[in-house]
Amino acid sequence: MDKESYLAEIKLRLRRYFSASRDGYKPPAEDRHRLEGFMQGAVFMGFATSAELGRVMERIHFDVFGKSIEERRQEGEARWQESVINYDRYDQPAYERAGRSLSGR
């Protein structure tokens, strides 16, 4: 396999991986590990550097999602923070919240 074919396959796999995620499918961990291994193979064979592959990944991610990896990561963190449930009201014992005393009166 030549360099161009190998790098084209990496781009195809990245696009598939990101597109599945965008469409609401959680790609299996095995797919991510295979992709990472495939990319490490490109570095090992001298087809690309890690920095070059990082830029390829960033570009494809932007093509698929319309935002950078970091922007999407921050957006996800913000969404997670919004969904955090405030459990403060449960710090008070249930019988006190119900307006009863410990003796039942």
Between CA 84 and CA 7 the distance in angstroms is 41
pLDDT (0 to 100) of residue 76: 72
- Kindly report, residue by residue over 4-62, the tens digit of the pLDDT: 999 999 999 999 999 998 998 888 899 999 999 999 999 999 999 999 999 999 999 99
Q: Which helix (H) or strand (E) holds 4?
A: helix 3-22
Q: Residue holding tokens 């990101």?
A: 18
Q: Distance of alpha carbon 34 from its chain centroid, rounded?
A: 16
Between CA 10 and CA 35 the distance in angstroms is 7
Please report, as a single letter, which amino acid is at residue 99.
G
CA distances, 5 to each of 32, 42, 43, 44, 55 (Å): 20, 11, 14, 16, 18
CA angle 86, 87, 89 (to 5 degrees): 110
Prediction pTM value: 0.69
pLDDT (0 to 100) of residue 38: 93
